[in-house]
């Protein structure tokens, strides 16, 4: 009897876990810049860069108020556009490889990486 139950329970659990691997793409939109002092655009850029580099992202300024972040882990690659000014910043999906992106959903690890980047940016801004 126990084997019969396991025969059905284990595949169901595996399917449930596999199904949880993909989730809607997580973006950060207009997160407020909260700092202990008045900040410049360069201060915000440096805080975002420090946050990303500390987590293994390659942070490349593209123009004032815009940078690209690239994270490569094993065969996975995530690319985000980060826009910012002295009042707010946003992190938006740009591209990926080997993350099961289908136009609206992506591997849940991507979302965790972006959430961690967001938290690190907030921490760096708060430290200004």
Host H or E run for residue 5: helix 2-19
Instruction: With CA atoms as reference, report the closest residue to 80 among 46, 47, 33, 115.
Output: 115
Whether the CB-CB separation of 33 and 89 falls below 8 Å is answered with yes
Residue 68 CA to residue 58 CA, distance in Å, equals 8
Could you report the per-residue pLDDT of 83-112, keeping only the tens digit for each? 999 999 999 999 999 999 999 999 999 999
**Residue 4 in this model has a pLDDT that exceeds 60:** no
Whether the CB-CB separation of 106 and 80 falls below 8 Å is answered with no
Domain regions of the chain by residue span: 23-126
For residue 7, the model assigns a pLDDT of 52
Instruction: With CA atoms as reference, report the closest residue to 43 among 91, 82, 85.
Output: 85
Q: Which 8-state DSSP code applies to residue 38?
A: -
Instruction: With CA atoms as reference, report the closest residue to 121 among 63, 67, 62.
Output: 67
Instruction: With CA atoms as reference, report the closest residue to 96 among 109, 80, 84.
Output: 80
For residue 21, the model assigns a pLDDT of 87
Q: Which of the following CATH numbers is that of domain 23-126: 3.30.310.80, 3.40.50.620, 3.40.50.261, 1.10.3720.10?
A: 3.30.310.80
Sequence-distant (6+) residues with CB within 8 A of 94 are: 68, 79, 80, 81
Could you report the per-residue pLDDT of 40-79, keeping only the tens digit for each? 999 999 999 999 999 999 999 999 999 999 999 999 999 9
């Amino acid at each position: 009897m126990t084997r019969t139950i396991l025969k059905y329970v284990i595949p169901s659990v595996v399917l449930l876990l596999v199904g949880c691997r993909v989730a809607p793409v997580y973006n950060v939109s207009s997160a407020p810049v909260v700092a202990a002092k008045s900040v410049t655009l360069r201060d915000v850029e440096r805080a975002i860069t420090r946050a990303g580099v500390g987590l293994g992202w390659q942070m490349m300024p593209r123009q004032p108020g815009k940078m690209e972040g690239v994270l490569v882990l094993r065969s996975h690659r995530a690319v985000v556009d980060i826009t910012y000014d002295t009042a707010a910043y946003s992190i938006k999906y740009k591209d990926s490889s080997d993350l099961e992106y289908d136009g609206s959903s992506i591997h849940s690890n991507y979302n965790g990486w972006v959430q961690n980047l967001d938290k690190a940016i907030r921490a760096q801004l708060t430290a200004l």
